Structure formats: C-alpha cells, structure tokens
Amino acid sequence: MQVFDQVRDMQLQSLSWRAAGWRIAFVPTMGNLHEGHLDLVREAARRADQVVVSVFVNPLQFNDVADFQRYPRTLNDDLRQLSKLNVAAVFTPGEAAMYPEGRESVTRVEVPQLTDELEGAHRPGHFTGVATVVTKLFQAVLPDVALFGEKDYQQLLVVRKLVADLNLPLEIVGRPTRREPDGLAMSSRNRQLSADERRQATRLYATLQWVAEQVRAGQRHFAELEAGAWEQLVTAGFEPEYISIRSAADLRLPAGGEPLVVLGAARLGRVRLIDNLRI
C-alpha cells in the first residue's frame, strides 16, 4: 500500500494505472475510520482494480472553528486498518497541498438550490467546502468510480449533481448507512459522546423510524409528524435543528406519490448528530 501526500504524485500514479487499462475506485474520507468507511473500501475493491482512499480533514467545510479543531485525527490507526484491506494507495495531503495559495483564495465550487436548506441552512458554507474539496480530490485521484455513505444523504445528492453538471467522467455510488447494533448511525463524531450521551443518541434513529412508520401507515400530515418528532427529541435531551420529510430524489418538499426520505439533525451536548431514513 502506497501513501502519497502530494497531488502531483497521486496524479502520476493514477495516470499510470489508467494507461495500463486498470479501473480506479475512490473512497474520500476525513479519517478516524470506522466500519462504515471500511464497508465503502470493500465495495470499492469489488468495483475496480485499484482502490484509493483519501484522508483529509477539510477546513473549508467546517463553519465552526472549534468543531474543526476537535475533529479526531487518527492517521496511524487509519493506515493500519487500510493496510489489511485491498487498498493500493492512500492519499493524505496536508492543507498546503490542497490549498497551496491558502484556503481563502482558492477557487470554489457551488451547487445551488440543493444546498440552500437542511444542512446548508444550519451550516453556512459547508457544501461549498464539500463541493470544492471533492472536485479537487477527483482531479488528484482521477477515479472511474467514487463511493459515499448515505448517512450524509444531502451530501451524496450534492456530489451526484456536481458530477453531472460538470460532466465529470465518473460514477458515484451510494452505500447504505452502517449502524451500531442499537441502531446509531456509525460516525467519527460518536467517539466524542459521553457514556450517557451515547445511550441517549439512539433516540435520533428511533424517532426517524417512528416518522417512517406513521407515513407507511398512511399519515400525510407531514408538518404534524415533524412537530411530533421534534417533541420526542427534545424530551430525549436533544436540541433539534431540523426534522424534515422530503423527496428522496432531490430533497424537494413532497408533491405526492414519490419515494421519500426523513432527515434529522440534532445536538446532544457538544456533539452534532445527523441521520436519515428512506421511506
């Protein structure tokens, strides 16, 4: 397993693989890897000849400086885990490699409309940071296919639209959210929960399940369901930011008859949790 920390070195390796006719799969991460990430890596190995994983904590997508500073960085452990899988290369650029003239002056990529609500409304600038870094990572790794987890559902749709709008020649694959045995969505942020908060955290997924059950039973007063879910989270000790039932295809407000997804974000102590559930 090779480790590259410079964009040009990563590009040269990928160009060599492409010249040999090999298919490249890419899994972008911010490190602190858990089983959800490793599932993406295993699926990547099934879809390509060479697998590249990136580890880069992207400052552009954090609207909270404190959140960026305390985001867990475990590169040595990440490399140890990846060395046991079918990974050809790990791309570990520093901020200077990704933003050589500084993050403030970098050309930015924006995906309008889809990024205005939900996560976009509560984390100003977040999706511009995501779209910018993903575009730069795609240009460094030059993959044929890239894999993302559905836990960050809105992010997955943003990346798909980005790739379509910019005519990028790669496939985007979403993988179902991996969960702990008690239902909590796997996330690097879970390690920041106290023992009591970790027990409480399962209520977010349970609340989304309740909403989904009500919709499947024929309830169509979505605003009432969202209000009921909000109350459940408050009672469970959360500070909700949003609970919303949307069209699964594009996150528009439901028009009737289309597949749906319920999405939620809430704070538990200093940890912000997000989750979603297809209906």
From the candidates 34, 37, 122, 221, which is the catalytic residue?
37
Structural domains of the chain in order of their starting residue, each with its CATH number: 2-175 (3.40.50.620), 188-274 (3.30.1300.10)
Residue 269 token pair: 């102590």
For residue 242, give the nearest of 198, 279, 211, 199 by alpha carbon.
Answer: 211
If pLDDT is split at 50, 70 and 90, which confidence band does 161 have?
Answer: very high
Q: CA-to-CA distance for 205 and 212, rounded, in angstroms?
A: 11
Tell me the per-residue pLDDT of 108-125, one tens digit each, with 9 for 90 and over. 999 999 999 999 999 999
Q: Do residues 272 and 242 lie in contact, with contact meaning Cβ atoms separated by under 8 Å? A: no
Percent of the chain with pLDDT over 70: 100
Tell me the per-residue pLDDT of 24-76, one tens digit each, with 9 for 90 and over. 999 999 999 999 999 999 999 999 999 999 999 999 999 888 888 888 899 99
Q: Does residue 126 have an active-site annotation?
A: no
Q: What is the pLDDT of residue 110?
A: 96
Q: What is the pLDDT of residue 64?
A: 84
pTM: 0.95
